[in-house]
Structure 1
Amino acid sequence: MPDLDDPKPYEIRPDPQAQTSNPDPSHNAPTNVDYEPHPASSLPISPEHQHIVDSIICLYSGSASESDMRVYASQAIYDDPWSYCDTRYKIAGQWYGIPMLMAKSQTLKTEVVDDRPDRIVFKLQQEYTPKVVKFSKSVNSLIALSLDGKGRVKYHKDMCDKDYSHEGLGKIMETLNGDHLTNITRPPDSL
């Protein structure tokens, strides 16, 4: 069991091809994955895991609420193509930014593809409508949530089209975004 205070060992790297490949190759991206959710194929999950998924979906949809943020451990990691955050407070900086930037952010559909006591992996289709330009764009992602022994999210990985590396200029930009966005979005200090 990993050290509860160190989130890095909690990173899971799901095999996108194994978890998302569509039997009909015409539905797969060039990387042989299909990140589009198919709700009818979703695995059943426990009420505790459903609460976590519901809270994460609310955050993607712009809730920016403290209660939804509490599904994260205080020393959790959020890892996506644009940011790398290593505390719940920094993660809140990302979620509190959605209502600032988006006129609307709506979850269209989800599909749970893996559910175990220590993880939840699901596909998410999210539609974003920026405030500045009023057009909507749907984005399909594979979300991997690693849970600690207390049932809190310790590592949140969002792969919107691939698993991103933690190297080079991209990693520097992700870390800078994660470290400094809270200065703009101002989440509650209680997080």
Structure 2
Amino acid sequence: MSGAALPKDSRLPGEHFEVRQTATSNDYHPDRSKSLPLSPARQALLDDILALYSCQPTRRRVERYTRDCVYDDQFVYANDRYKMAGQWFALPKLFARSVNEGYEVVRNDRELIRFKNEQTWTFPGNLKSTTINAIVSLSLDPDTAESDFPQVKYHKDQANEKDYSHSGPGFAFKKWQADKVAGMMDSEDVEAFKDDSRDDYHEPVRKHESGTADASLKQL
């Protein structure tokens, strides 16, 4: 695995902390016996992230992200904590339940935690369930990376070997969806993060060639 040249300046917005991923295998199935050990503080962070995936959002768990964070998956691009809160608190409304089937930490650097994740999602009415295996990268805030409460600058959830494009109609839809959900939620928990909205001041998304870190997923 090549080193990820993540920024050291915590003042930079979350967009600057993206790690570009290229898989050398499509095996995203986690093997817990091979999982790298984490410090208690980092294990607590991972436990909170997995609880969010499992439809158990709390304000404290959303606070695991910096206010200028980015969440990036195949459906959503949320570029502040208010929009991210909308996504996490919407999950229990969209799914009957979500169960973590296992994870494997494959990288534990000062400012990057990467893990394979297996999650089973059950739709309302228990009519159908689907299990998704993904590789998740958490780029950590440099100022809190070694603290008792590390926070995430950029959360990338990638369900196949092809990394995401940040241009074109597909990306525009992902961003539009994230922009709208938080405002549509009738939730005091989401509104608690309203001041974290960056609609008026966040930087435009940068092209990939302008400094995002590259990291080949050789552990897969």
The reply to whether TM is greater than 0.5 is yes
Report the CA distance shift for 1:111/1:59 in structure 2 as closer, same or farther (over 3 A): same
Once the two structures are TM-superposed, the CA of residue 2 in structure 1 deviates from its matched residue by: 3.4
1:16 pairs with one of 23, 35, 60: 23
Greater RCO (Cα-Cα under 8 Å, separation 6 or more): 2
* 2:110 aligned with 1:114: no
Identical-pair percentage: 34
Once the two structures are TM-superposed, the CA of residue 5 in structure 1 deviates from its matched residue by: 3.8
Greater Cα shift, 139-148 or 124-133 = 124-133
Instruction: Give the distance between the partners of 2:23 and 2:87, measured in 1 at CA.
Output: 24
Task: Please list the CA deviations of residues 23-53 of structure 1 after superposition, one character each: whole Å capped at 9, or x if unmatched.
Answer: xxxxxxxxx3211111111011111111111
Matched residue pairs, number?
177
Partner of 2:122, secondary structure, is strand
Which amino acid counterpart does residue 4 of structure 1 have in structure 2?
Answer: R
Moved over 4 A (4+): none
Q: Which residue of 2 aligns with 1:61?
A: 54
Once the two structures are TM-superposed, the CA of residue 3 in structure 1 deviates from its matched residue by: 4.6
Instruction: Give the distance between the partners of 2:139 and 2:179, measured in 1 at CA.
Output: 21
Q: Which residue of 1 aligns with 2:171?
A: 171
Instruction: Give the distance between the partners of 1:114 and 1:51, measured in 2 at CA.
Output: 16
2:13 pairs with one of 6, 26, 38: 6
Q: What is the TM-score normalised by the length of structure 2?
A: 0.77
Map residues 1-191 of structure 1 onto 2, 5 A cutoff.
1-17=8-24, 32-132=25-125, 134-149=127-142, 150=144, 151-161=150-160, 162-185=162-185, 186=187, 187-191=189-193
Instruction: Give the distance between the partners of 1:41 and 1:4, measured in 2 at CA.
Output: 35
Instruction: Give the distance between the partners of 2:123 and 2:62, measured in 1 at CA.
Output: 23
Task: Please list the CA deviations of residues 105-159 of structure 1 after superposition, one character each: whole Å capped at 9, or x if unmatched.
Answer: 0101000000011010001100000105621110001000000122310000000
Partner of 2:154, secondary structure, is strand
Q: Which runs of 5+ in 2 are unaligned?
A: 1-7, 145-149, 194-220
Q: What is the TM-score normalised by the length of structure 1?
A: 0.88
Once the two structures are TM-superposed, the CA of residue 67 in structure 1 deviates from its matched residue by: 1.1
CA contact (8 A) 2:86 2:190 kept: no
